[in-house]
Amino acid sequence: MEALTGWDAQIWLTLQAKWDLWHVMKARGSRPKAAATTGRASSIAIADYAEIRENAAIVPIGNTTWARVKTVRSIVSIADVFTGNVVSRAGVELIDGTPGYLSTRLKVVRGGRVMDVEISADTSPRVVSSYVWKLDPSFTTVLPADQRLSRVALEALARRYFHSLSTHHAVLADFETNCNRYHSGQQITNLAGNTVEGGPPRTCAGSLEGTPPWGPATEQRFPVIDPERGLVFAVTLLHYLQAPTPSQMYVSEVFKVVGGRIVRIDNIGVMMKGVSSLGFVH
């Protein structure tokens, strides 16, 4: 795609999200309003009462990490017409040439106005450019009908996963044998020596068990569920209570579910201190 810079990148992402939502509505037989696909800043209608947060902190729309984006290298978007939410995962090159991984959720309400802007931004050295700059398009592949779960079943599966973060007991039947979890592009499972969790190679299920330093997982939300593609976008506030100074991880995950089992988990996990809420409680 054409290189986009600075505020142009934020504009493009918003228009792309609205366009994705329009297509989902059209495909499901709804009568979509005219999509905001022409024009530039004037096409973006952010509600006066919109809640705008990056890594849980309230920020002005012009002061997000998107203002430091030099180029959008790769992007994957999913939309949910039932909730009005759209999520884009974008692998970006920042102005200083380093990679970043940005997850942006937009809540689009009647009239095409954006009510929520929720950004999870990882610009740490742990971001793997070879992954985020070339996101796998198969992640959003439409599944055969016999490989899909219902919305209710997909949400239940994701809820069980987050419950396991608190109890440290995984539901083995929820995971495909070759499932892998990635943190900003770094493979965590079935591989030794990762810099996020360390330890010996473990499976997606096995990495939830034992005596990990995290738990409980609170403020669980599931804004986007796409049964056709077997995708669930979910967020939670994961607490680390064992350290001398408690900390929190803002977990922003996309689950790929095929045949009723998780085959891939794409996570952006941002460590924070002193955070009691991710917001968006309305």
Type of residue found at 197: E
**pTM > 0.95:** no
70 to 9, 10, 20, 79, 112: CA distances (angstroms): 8, 11, 23, 25, 27
- The predicted-structure confidence for 23-39, as pLDDT tens digits, reads as follows 444 444 444 443 333 33
> Which pLDDT tens digit goes with each residue over 250-279?
999 999 999 999 999 999 999 999 999 999
- Quick: pLDDT tens for 67-98: 898 888 999 988 888 888 989 999 999 999 99
Q: Are 161 and 262 in contact (CB under 8 A)?
A: yes
pLDDT recorded at residue 47: 82
pLDDT of residue 18: 52
